[in-house]
A and B are shown apart, each in its own frame.
Chain A
Amino acid sequence: MTVIESVRDHVERTLVDSFEVEPAALRPDRTLDGLGLDSLAIVELIDIMAGDLGLILEDDALRPGMTVDEIVRALEDAGESR
């Protein structure tokens, strides 16, 4: 399993398990907003990723209009800059 797949898998699993996103709704181009995450939920997502993967993002690094793809990319960038 590659690192890229691992981050994506983890984001998707977290969205399903912790944020009650329907698995069928998970597409790379779906936005957080479209998946039902409000602004507080996005900060919670950042906290969960930091806790689970050690990938630290600023509180404003993710925005409601960002897609799942963009989130995965932001987390991977954070991993590479460690």
Chain B
Amino acid sequence: MSARPPAAATHSPAAPDVVVTGLGVVSAAGIGAEATWKSVVSGQPTARISPTLRGLPTDLACELDGFDAPGLLGANFARRTDRFSQLAMIAGDEALRTAGLDPSGWDGARVGVLLGSAFGGVTTLTEQAVRESRGSAVSAVTVPAVLSNMAAGLLSLAWKAHGPSLAVNTACASGATAIGLAAGLLRDDTCDIVIAGGAEAPVNRLLAAAFARMDALSLNRAAPAAASRPFDAQRDGFVLAEGAAMLVLERADDAAARHAPTLARLVGFGASADAHHFTAPHPEGRGLERAVTQALRRAGAGLADVDHVNAHATSTPKGDLAEASLLARLFGGSVSVTAPKGALGHTLGAAGAIEAALTVLSIVEQTVPPTANLDEPDALIDELDIVAGQARSQRIRLALSSSSGFGGQNAVLAFAD
């Protein structure tokens, strides 16, 4: 055991500790955080050929099997909402349940909801556009289903949460940005409870075709399960995926007062913009570096305090290289690194939230999941200690989860035990 001081040990009264008291996850691995954790820890990929995308240049996706929205959420909710809101609702309900919170008993004015999504109800939008182009009437609930703020609004409505209800969009960093901003609402005493995360349901033909035109997607149809392979030498793009994750955040004192479970502390958040290119990441990860630095400063910690990094790594050649270049420069081989997108694909605006949840679970379980499909690390990024093959038991006191999005937007969350 190291003699170093615990990360983020000191806090002024103006900056109270924020803790994670509950979480919920939905991914292609299944409904419930346990299903996703098991899939990631066992390195089990979820990518496969998607019937929805048949005939496109790439038809790979990570999708939930047999998702029964009416059965899970009721016919009215299922009929009137896009799938991204449905996934958010399921993850949010699980988060509240695990936090031991009952909306019927809380002061809703003090409860906020922050939800990130890159594309909102884009699948509904594309379906209705097809109907309109064929001369059919569009659904009367197209607008509310498509609006990207609607998932946050629906969760607030379901839970009678009257505090801030905000949609956050930093593309593929959205979920992490939402969680980072949520901590601010607790620290400045706007809220007592914030449920924050991200949701995305992007598996539709338009987005698959559009990402393919950008050369962003894996074309590995011959081996769908092996298509998403972050940091691997043979990676050729990401796999489109759906999912959602929500975290319940509270001030530590409040959580202790109600004897809530404390899964981890959210000790830092950094946000930055590359301001380099509208889609390509800065090749050396300079923007992401600023977010890492900011998150650690807020945590009262240094680079040497970091034990583990949950990387954004989407399995694209350029993106993984830029992030790896940064992580190698900052940490060398001194931190364990994992990339859950090997198992779960890229859930875009939900990814940062799902990976935040996985980072929290890594702290709870003191276990780093392997990077699925990492067989031979890219020669340019082999300085890093990327966990592959099987999960690793590790003492994790401070862990970072990094996220980046088109637009050059970055978000880094720091969690501590």
Contacts and interface: CB of A to CB of B under 8 A. Distances in A.
Interface of A: 17-20, 40-41, 43-44, 47, 50, 59
B75 A44 contact: no
Interface in B257-283: none
A40 B74 CA distance: 17
Name the 6 nearest CB pairs between A and B, nearest first: A43-B140, A20-B76, A40-B140, A18-B75, A20-B75, A44-B140
B53 to A, nearest CB: 26
Interface in B114-170: 137, 139-141, 144
Contacts of B137: 47, 50
Interface string B75-106: 11001100000000000000000000000000
A13 to B, nearest CB: 12
Contacts of B75: 17-20
A10 B137 CA distance: 21
Contacts of B140: 40, 43-44, 47, 59
Contacts of B80: 40, 44
Contacts of A41: 76
Nearest to A56: B137
A20 B74 contact: yes
Given A40-B141, A44-B139, 20 more contacts: A18-B75, A18-B76, A18-B79, A19-B75, A19-B76, A20-B74, A20-B75, A20-B76, A40-B80, A40-B144, A41-B76, A43-B140, A44-B79, A44-B140, A44-B141, A47-B137, A47-B139, A47-B140, A50-B137, A59-B140
Nearest to A19: B76
A37 B63 CA distance: 33
21 contacts: A18-B76, A18-B79, A19-B75, A19-B76, A20-B75, A20-B76, A40-B80, A40-B140, A40-B141, A41-B76, A43-B140, A44-B79, A44-B80, A44-B139, A44-B140, A44-B141, A47-B137, A47-B139, A47-B140, A50-B137, A59-B140
B82 to A, nearest CB: 15
A40 B141 CA distance: 7
A43 B137 CA distance: 11
Range class of the B interface residue count: 10 to 19
Nearest to B78: A18
Nearest to B144: A40
A79 to B, nearest CB: 18
B371 to A, nearest CB: 44
A59 B74 CA distance: 25
B16 to A, nearest CB: 41
B86 to A, nearest CB: 15
Contacts of A44: 79-80, 139-141
A38 to B, nearest CB: 10
B150 to A, nearest CB: 13
Nearest to B74: A20
A47 B144 CA distance: 17
Nearest to A39: B140
Interface string B312-331: 00000000000000000000
Contacts of B141: 40, 44
A6 B385 CA distance: 68
A48 B79 CA distance: 11
A11 to B, nearest CB: 15
Contacts of A19: 75-76
A18 B139 CA distance: 15
A47 B75 CA distance: 16
A60 B74 CA distance: 27
A62 to B, nearest CB: 12
Interface string B195-225: 0000000000000000000000000000000
A48 B80 CA distance: 13
Contacts of B76: 18-20, 41
Residue in B139, B140, B144 whose Cβ sees the most chain A Cβ within 10 Å: B140
A19 B144 CA distance: 17
Contacts of B139: 44, 47
B157 to A, nearest CB: 13
A47 B131 CA distance: 13
A44 B79 CA distance: 9
A60 to B, nearest CB: 12
A81 to B, nearest CB: 19
Nearest to A46: B140
Contacts of B144: 40
A36 to B, nearest CB: 9
Contacts of A17: 75
